[in-house]
Amino acid sequence: MKRSDIDMLNGGIGIKLLMFSIPLALTGMLQQLFNAADVAVVGRFVGEDAMAAVGSNSAVIGLLVNGFIGIALGANVVISNFTGQGDNESISKCIHTSVLFSIIGGICVTLIGEALAPHILELMSVPENVFPMSLAYLRIYLQGMPVIFLYNFESAIFRSQGDTRTPLFCLVISGIANVLLNLFFVCIVGMDADGVALATVISNSISSALLFVILCRKEYPIKIDLHEIKIHGDVLKKIVRIGLPAGLQSMVFSLSNMCIQSAVNSLGSEVMAASSAAFNIEILAYYLVNAFGQGCTTFVGQNYGAGKLDRCKKITRISLLMDVGITAAASYIILLFGTPLLKIFNDNPAIAELGLVRLKYILAAEALNAVMEIMSGAMRGYGYSLVPAILTFAGVCGIRILWVYTVFRKYATFDALMVVYPVSWVFTGAALVVAYLLFIRKLSRTQPDMGE
């Protein structure tokens, strides 16, 4: 074992799960903090319209990126299973397939996104005073999709081996570059939303390149050999079979958030700016939720590959307890400092007050989201990702879209819109718990445990 790797197949679980999940959560948090720097810089040095322009794109970008993050999670699961089985040849095939697939996928998304960008923003009801800056930001951001997708697949490779610290290290370097470039393009060059988009693309290229170089210097089977980069159909099918439903599940959140963002946009640029600022704060808690979910997926994936079913069940229980407890505590702390955090983005008291409304509804119920992530993550680790995706689509996307066109249409207030988050989490979480218990009961009857 390398010092950066974690032995998931033997010994205690709790401490190792923390060692895996905390760097992963910090990676997401740092990534979001650097993204929040985009909003803060334009909010401070350009104005509310530029701040709203950047925020109005978060749901669209989330839709595009989250889809491939889900597919990258498929690569994580497949490599984890092969690691548990000790199948080095298949691990190598999966890594080289993932690298090429991510680049091709990123290019395709860039081309399609550039063509559809104006129509997407029109569908989201972006106001006319914000539209030109929103479009410029989105077009530049889309050009960085190949390197963004490559970074996520590279990170998945490291996660599959229990290494979450190397992606964190690379992100710190690129994130510092992002903040400096934000200030350079906005304060010195005089750009607005397009400047922070350009800074984001350059910084993502740095992190992706760093991980690629490190993988080229690794030892077999996770070493990248430039001559071996090609698509292996059999491995790609396994990645897509697990990753596509996971990607669709992630996109469901973004689709519903696009619908909600459209409703937010209808309330004016002040609400848009407040919602954007609050989102960049609340999502810090979500990265804790998501990190333990991915930790559960990876630990279960390796142990399922090794035939250790009882250990898989234990991993799920520990992951759930840790995720709910830590997320609840973190959410309370963030909410406690909500107002001063919101004022970092903009010193308008009205924006801080509106942003606090969103924080209260979401952070107070974030632990419910942890239940969803762990149940989905555990089932994905077993390679069973279609049912969680379907339940999430119905429970999250269905309820939120229905809410926007019924409750919000009748009571067109920010409060009435935000309450949909905890409502959707309650129903979807309950459905996923039932699905998990039924799946485990069936699996226990059909597949024996191979023991420690």
High-pLDDT (> 70) share of the chain, %: 97
More confident residue, 247 or 319: 319
Taking CA atoms, 17 is separated from 171, 353, 442, in Å, by 21, 37, 26
Averaged pLDDT for residues 369-374: 94
pLDDT given at position 193: 83
pLDDT given at position 1: 43
pLDDT given at position 452: 53
Angle at 95 between CA 92 and CA 101, to 5 degrees: 140
pLDDT given at position 449: 61
Residue 60 in tokens: 């669209």
pLDDT given at position 245: 81
Averaged pLDDT for residues 23-29: 85
For residue 101, pLDDT over 60 is answered with yes
d(CA 449, CA 1): 25
Q: What is the pLDDT of residues 41-75, one digit of tens each?
A: 887 778 777 777 787 777 677 777 777 777 888 88
Confidence of residue 419 (pLDDT cuts 50, 70, 90): very high
Q: Is 9 helix (H, G, I), strand (E, B) or coil?
A: coil
Query: In sequence order, what are the residues at sequence separation of 6 or more whose Cβ sits closer than 8 angstroms to the Cβ of residue 251?
Result: 63, 66, 67, 70
Averaged pLDDT for residues 381-401: 88
More confident residue, 43 or 293: 293
Q: What is the pLDDT of residues 158-203, one digit of tens each?
A: 988 888 889 989 988 998 998 899 899 988 988 888 888 899 899 9
For residue 39, pLDDT over 70 is answered with yes
Averaged pLDDT for residues 210-219: 94
Range with the poorest average pLDDT among 85-94, 205-214, 266-275: 266-275
d(CA 28, CA 53): 22
More confident residue, 238 or 250: 238
Confidence of residue 371 (pLDDT cuts 50, 70, 90): very high
Burial of 188 (0-12, 13-18, 19+ CB in 10 A): exposed
pLDDT given at position 7: 86
Range with the poorest average pLDDT among 52-56, 151-155, 408-412: 52-56
For residue 369, pLDDT over 80 is answered with yes
Averaged pLDDT for residues 103-114: 92
Confidence of residue 448 (pLDDT cuts 50, 70, 90): low
Q: What is the pLDDT of residues 115-134, one digit of tens each?
A: 988 988 888 778 888 888 88
Q: Which of 177, 182, 171 is nearest to 207 (CA)?
A: 171
Write the DSSP assignment of 148-193 as a string of letters. HHHHHHHHHHHHHTT--HHHHHHHHHHHHHHHHHHHIIIIIS---H
Q: How many CB atoms lie within 10 A of CB 440?
A: 17
Q: How many CB atoms lie within 10 A of CB 317?
A: 13
d(CA 215, CA 209): 10
More confident residue, 268 or 33: 268
More confident residue, 257 or 92: 92
Q: Crossing angle for the helix pair 145-160 and 88-123, nearest 10 degrees? A: 140
For residue 447, pLDDT over 60 is answered with yes
Averaged pLDDT for residues 417-439: 94
Range with the poorest average pLDDT among 69-83, 93-107, 160-174: 69-83
Averaged pLDDT for residues 36-41: 76
- Mean pLDDT in the chain? 87
Averaged pLDDT for residues 94-113: 92
